[in-house]
Amino acid sequence: MTPKHVDVVVIGGGIAGATAAASLAETHEVALLEQEQELAHHTTSRSAAVYIENEGGPIFHRLSTASRPFFEDPPGADHPIVEPMPVLSIGDESMADALRDEAAEAGRITPTLRFVEGDELFDLCPVLRRGTVAAGMYEPAAGTIDVMGLHQLFVRRARRHGAAIVRSARVQTLTRHADRWHVGSEAGEWTAGVVVNAAGAWGDQVAAMAGVEPVGLQPKRRTAFHAPTNADIDGMPFIYSGIPELQCYAKAESGGQLLCSLSDETNSDPCDARAEEIDVARAIDNLNALTTLDIRSVRTTWAGLRTFAPDRNPVFGWDDRVDGFFWLVGQGGCGIVTSPIAGEITRSLLETGDLPESTVALGLTKEMLAPRRDDGV
């Protein structure tokens, strides 16, 4: 079969691949190749869909903040992609000082974020149990994301600019000669000057296929579930408990339903992740200890892989040892909220070698995101 020639092949049809294809297609010929029959089959369709800025450490925080203008006015959207929903990170008495300090530090990037305690805490979230919960960090300008709507926005934009979006196209070979990548897939062959590795949990496997040294990605399974409650959850903030023996989170959805998780992190190989019953049971115990939600049954369960680099920061940038190989992986638990700026960063690094000005203004450097930052890049 004769190969098709494009400027860029993007590997992976989750949110990372979709945002990269959307941004790049405006100025490049792009083909996005996804191994599954449908796009977003893996981690992207399994998230909690929360827009939190202060999550994942200072680098992710800045990337989420840089994505806010997109969410406030998403180009091409016919409905809001983010609906307001405050976030309340809760702790016990022993965590009050740490939460106060974190709120002060994170408040430098997100000024509306603040420490809360006493009656205000229970006014903000009446289902919390006094005595068990004593302090919190409140992020009022957070929200809930229409993840599939967001993914579709990126895919539509990519297609509008001529990108080929190809499903059932598992990439099986990646070789470079005469300044071009030769990409062999289940759906045919492509050649391209640049490959964008947006393969999520499979990122290191894709790199190995190309003869590129892996960056040490570790996929970690997280189980989530939907549960009904009779409690009044109208206006309830997203609750995240960082109390070590009572870890969990809960998000109010429509129809008296909660989306819950233990916030578990279990190492996994790249795979189609499945829910663990024990993690569901422990999450229910913890949520019932912290709140009056009185969860007694479960409607649906699922799991997804959150994939981390060794330092738990994102890996966005050119590989410095192999020409034309760009990494867009390691988004951990923040790949949805950071996706708008991830696409812009990809395009900016491809075209100019530098980060977009909006991210530089927030204190980010390309070295912070570079694949081999541990080598003193």
Ligand X SMILES: Cc1cc2nc3c(=O)[nH]c(=O)nc-3n(C[C@H](O)[C@H](O)[C@H](O)COP(=O)(O)OP(=O)(O)OC[C@H]3O[C@@H](n4cnc5c(N)ncnc54)[C@H](O)[C@@H]3O)c2cc1C
Binding site for ligand X (CB under 6 A): 11-17, 33-36, 40-44, 46-50, 170-171, 198-202, 206, 222, 224, 261, 304, 306, 331, 333-337
Closest distance to ligand X from the beta carbon of 145 (Å): 7
Q: Which is nearer to ligand X, 40 or 134 (CB)?
A: 40
Closest distance to ligand X from the beta carbon of 328 (Å): 7
The closest of 327, 347, 354 to 30, measured between CA atoms, is 347
H or E segment to which residue 182 belongs: strand 180-185
Q: How far apart are the first and last CA of the chain?
A: 40
Closest distance to ligand X from the beta carbon of 289 (Å): 21
Closest distance to ligand X from the beta carbon of 377 (Å): 22
Asked whether 90 and 128 are in contact (CB, 8 A), the reply is yes
Q: Which is nearer to ligand X, 66 or 134 (CB)?
A: 66
Q: Which residue has the tokens 């570790």?
A: 218
Asked whether 239 and 293 are in contact (CB, 8 A), the reply is no
44: amino acid identity, one letter? T
Closest distance to ligand X from the beta carbon of 1 (Å): 17
Asked whether 309 and 333 are in contact (CB, 8 A), the reply is no
Closest distance to ligand X from the beta carbon of 203 (Å): 8
**Cα 156 to Cα 39: distance, rounded to the nearest angstrom:** 13
Q: Which is nearer to ligand X, 134 or 183 (CB)?
A: 183
Asked whether 92 and 132 are in contact (CB, 8 A), the reply is yes
Q: Which is nearer to ligand X, 17 or 74 (CB)?
A: 17
Helices (H), ranges, 55-145: 58-72, 96-106, 118-124
Q: Which is nearer to ligand X, 100 or 282 (CB)?
A: 282
Q: Which is nearer to ligand X, 86 or 333 (CB)?
A: 333
H or E segment to which residue 286 belongs: helix 277-290
DSSP-based helix, strand, coil % in the chain, nearest 5: 30, 30, 40
Q: Which is nearer to ligand X, 22 or 33 (CB)?
A: 33
Closest distance to ligand X from the beta carbon of 119 (Å): 29
**Cα 211 to Cα 209: distance, rounded to the nearest angstrom:** 6
